[in-house]
């Protein structure tokens, strides 16, 4: 009878220890799951591959989870110049590419021996895509520009006042006062409020592509 009671007690203890072990082992996973809620998985390509990656001031791996919005990525490695890029992370823009330029002779030699043109081109393409997507995320109107209307006439284009932060301004060229009005009407027709844009005017710089005449 005593042996049976001891066995039951041991079973209970083993059960409790087992449950506690599962909880302890699961804590990091549970914390990681909770911490990633509402965040976007971001993959980072970097050349050289063993460069140190810093995201928003903290050391990072090549895969991280970030809130949507603007983030700063830095890559460093001895013998190479530091590389810094700001990217607007979103569901459609979650791949970042960082390419360090060699400075020392050793780094230049390593670069020549280890990095192929195709690999470099692949990473550069990702880099350009991230930059373009970031600009489009911050300035949705860029997705539909440039716009030229020879009947206006007007031309709407854009440029960047601060590329690091993807601050863009809109340029409008028009030949008549009515051209300016039509340019604004076209912007509004795309559900964009012109008063929210940094608009700059270039009067007299419109060329009719049919006649070649400058207005």
**Residue 186, token pair as written in the block:** 């076209």
Expressed as residue numbers, the domain containing 145 is: 141-201
CA distance 74 to 116: 23
CA distance 127 to 97: 5
* CATH number, position 101: 2.60.40
Q: How many domains does the chain have?
A: 3
- Decide if 188 is inside a domain: yes
Closest CA to 44 of 95, 115, 100: 95
Whether 44 and 133 map to the same domain: the answer is: yes
Whether 119 and 104 map to the same domain: the answer is: yes
Per-residue pLDDT of the chain (215 residues; tens, 9 = 90+): 444 555 666 666 776 777 667 767 656 555 555 656 678 999 998 989 999 999 999 999 999 999 988 899 999 999 999 998 888 888 888 888 888 989 999 988 888 888 887 888 888 888 778 878 888 888 889 889 999 988 888 889 988 877 667 788 898 886 678 888 899 999 999 999 988 888 888 765 555 444 454 44
Task: Look at residues 138, 168, 188 and tell me which one is the last residue of a structural domain.
Answer: 138
- Decide if 133 is inside a domain: yes
The pTM of this model reads: 0.59
């Amino acid at each position: 009878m005593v042996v049976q009671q001891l066995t039951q007690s041991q079973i209970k203890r083993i059960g409790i220890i087992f449950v506690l072990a599962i909880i302890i082992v699961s804590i990091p996973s549970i914390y990681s799951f909770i911490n990633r809620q509402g965040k976007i998985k971001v993959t980072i390509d970097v050349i050289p591959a063993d460069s140190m990656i810093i995201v928003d001031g903290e050391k990072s791996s090549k895969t991280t989870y970030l809130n949507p919005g603007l983030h700063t990525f830095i890559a460093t490695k001895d013998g190479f110049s530091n590389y810094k890029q700001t990217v607007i992370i979103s569901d459609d823009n979650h791949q970042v590419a960082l390419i360090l330029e060699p400075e020392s002779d050793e780094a230049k030699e390593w670069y020549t021996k280890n990095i192929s043109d195709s690999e470099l081109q692949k990473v550069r393409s990702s880099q350009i895509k991230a930059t373009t997507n970031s600009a489009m995320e911050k300035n949705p109107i860029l997705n539909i520009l440039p716009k030229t209307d020879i009947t206006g006439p007007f031309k709407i284009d854009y440029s960047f006042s601060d590329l690091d932060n993807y601050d863009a301004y809109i340029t409008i060229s028009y030949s008549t006062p009515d051209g300016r009005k039509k340019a604004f009407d076209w912007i509004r027709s795309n559900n964009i409020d012109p008063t929210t844009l940094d608009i700059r005017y270039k009067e007299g710089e419109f060329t009719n592509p049919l006649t070649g005449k400058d207005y």
